[in-house]
Chains A and B, each alone.
Chain A
């Protein structure tokens, strides 16, 4: 297959030892599975782990625990902590790891669409289950009992917090960082310590790997300048499409090198744009994959022109919002590392990208009986602001259900809700219901954004809140749901039980 010709077959490929960052209790650290005297027992253990994981996945679906997107990984890793490394080593395929604060899931969907159009079989953690267990689950559910994946591309979105456990085992060919926004600061301490963790992972990548970075993100663009891996920058080069000043929630607006405030020629989303430091001259790098023209589409989304090393493409991004243009640019840059643009006819690429549907909970349109729901997953000020602006762009009064909870996944610290510009939403609001385990805090935020507490419904229970919110929404207008990850999943489960949406793992 020509797509794989840039690389020798997996067996002869120098795969660095996992000993640089050993997996906890790896039974044979530093030994390649093929040459170990314990081969038989290692193989048996792997087979057992994979069988147990697959059984757990089947059981969790039968018992309706959920989609089995993360439990199988937990079981398999319990049986064999080295399962991910062994699966990666056993299979002859290319692997892509996607990380960053926002856009991971959507970017992966676009990469998968392009790869499939290029004839590649793709194994991915499609449901956005991007913590360690979810990543392992995706790999093992696609593998046979010898750990081999019948696919040409392993595509994984990986949460920033577990990169250090996944990347050294996986040795991805392409490593993509979409952007870094303030996201769950209570989990990662500070933005910069998280950035350092990602940087450390990039430093370890071999020269055969490619790191794809958002050139418009001053922090991401500056990552690991001395790393061995090849670098590829993507970004937007259409000045007409931007705004002049970073919004309130913008993060990295000081020069990473000299701390002087950056000047922006143009800003596209939050702190993403064309920047320059007037003090030290540090500026946006030259873009390898650049969106050079953006036009609103007749249909949903945008028409874009993209310059890639393989030529110019004219594409339809069927997802609304500037952030999705970044996602498309990121995906195209990844596809470049897989030589996909060379393989694909421009019309095939256009069809593949145009067919991408929003990931579940990304302003997902749902028929709820005689009502309409727009389900939006929001997790930090940038994703909230961006989604809110999409909602505000549509005509009519807004009916809002806002749900947030404190869980391990959603984070404990709710302070970021105060960085969201809810003041723009409140004047357009006809009804408001707040829900989740932190409903009181959400209500407080809306009160100080100008909402009237007397007409606000505070209903912590998710299902009851959905019913009340729908009851208060006229059938002609949509109910917009802004929810953190856990309440979004819970609300979607309620709608799934009512037959309004397919299960997230089937879509």
Chain B
């Protein structure tokens, strides 16, 4: 191809929805373009700014806290029309956490009024008392015959349920995912990829970053060939390490050992005294840990015993 291809990224709410390092997703897309000699442009759009979605190849919509999400939801109403049209025209979208909820029908927090989404994703979210906080491993099959693992970190109190119009992004191997019950994580609709995984998700899972880039390039440049492979040693090391953390947290004896060491160390609990009770030990098998992530025990079974032992002078 004679002309250098250009990927046009639209980064929504770079200040408002940016709480857990999710701008790493932008860095991943841009660097992986640059390393391949692909040009890119980035248009940032905050509140009251309506970007030209029809001139956009990839939209990034990230997470935020309830308060910021409420402000974003108010503003999204103005962006909903052109964004929905772009999505129906197969524009690639990565939506994380609150961004995921903003594309769905609504998010009803435990306290406070429900927050309306733009409804392009057939999914709805109800708040739960216990936050899901921890490492997540997900198995995805985005293209037929291809299976990939996705590693990340979740931190959400919303329970999301998918309707018929959306597919899950993958199946949870370890962690809670959409709701901690049906084993699904994230959502897909046309070229929308929605997930609860922070961490951020793209640098650690370069296959997903490349999937988004490939879909965006294929849509704009129909004769664009496959993406050149990159040396992803650092990425795969980080992914393997993150998947290991997710699995450790899911395995029963690890969780029990962590609960014992936490009790022995009398970890602080930010909310209540419950973390100091030995009752934590009772929750150990996989299902329980997945469902039982408790806001008052945010370090629930996460730390490896040797790491916990070195946390403080004994």
Contacts and interface: CB of A to CB of B under 8 A. Distances in A.
Interface in B183-213: 198-200, 203-204
Nearest to A64: B313
A409 B298 CA distance: 11
B155 A186 contact: yes
Nearest to B199: A415
Given A412-B299, A419-B23, A448-B203, A490 B266 contact: no
A265 B160 CA distance: 41
A442 B26 CA distance: 17
Contacts of A71: 313-314
B309 to A, nearest CB: 9
Given A408-B262, A412-B134, A412-B299, 20 more contacts: A24-B273, A65-B313, A66-B312, A71-B314, A132-B266, A162-B270, A185-B20, A186-B133, A406-B307, A407-B311, A412-B153, A412-B303, A413-B198, A414-B153, A416-B21, A418-B24, A418-B27, A419-B18, A444-B203, A448-B31
B307 A437 contact: yes
Between B21, B28, B200, B313, the greatest number of chain A beta carbons within 10 A of the residue's beta carbon is seen for B313
Contacts of B298: 186-189
Nearest to A70: B312
B239 to A, nearest CB: 8
A444 B234 contact: yes
A438 B241 contact: yes
Between B21, B265, B268, the greatest number of chain A beta carbons within 10 A of the residue's beta carbon is seen for B268
Interface string B287-300: 00000000100110
Interface of A: 24, 60, 65-71, 74, 77, 129, 131-133, 159-162, 164-165, 182, 185-194, 197, 248, 250, 253-254, 259, 261, 405-410, 412-419, 437-438, 440-441, 443-445, 447-449, 453, 458, 486, 489-490
B197 to A, nearest CB: 10
Given A415-B22, A453-B233, A486-B311, A406 B245 contact: yes
Contacts of A441: 204, 238, 241-242
Interface stretch (B61-69, B119-127, B219-227): B61-69
Nearest to A420: B21
26 contacts: A70-B312, A164-B271, A185-B155, A186-B298, A189-B131, A189-B295, A190-B66, A191-B65, A197-B270, A250-B15, A406-B302, A406-B304, A407-B303, A407-B308, A408-B308, A408-B311, A409-B312, A412-B245, A412-B302, A414-B21, A416-B21, A418-B24, A418-B27, A444-B203, A444-B234, A447-B234
B52 interface: no
B131 A132 contact: no
Contacts of A407: 303, 307-308, 310-311
Contacts of B304: 406, 437
Contacts of A408: 262, 265, 267, 299, 303, 308, 311
A247 to B, nearest CB: 11
Given A405-B307, A444-B235, A453-B234, A161 B269 contact: yes
A210 to B, nearest CB: 25
B155 A189 contact: yes
A133 B237 contact: no
Given A259-B70, A408-B299, A66 B307 contact: no
B132 to A, nearest CB: 11
B60 to A, nearest CB: 13
Contacts of A490: 310
B135 interface: yes
B203 to A, nearest CB: 6
Contact of A159 (B198, B268, B295): B268
B84 interface: no
A15 to B, nearest CB: 22
B43 interface: no
Nearest to B270: A161
A194 B270 contact: yes
A146 B115 CA distance: 56
Contacts of A444: 203-204, 234-235, 237-238
Between B28, B153, B310, the greatest number of chain A beta carbons within 10 A of the residue's beta carbon is seen for B310
Nearest to A161: B270
Interface in B25-77: 27-28, 31, 47, 65-68, 70-71
A162 to B, nearest CB: 4
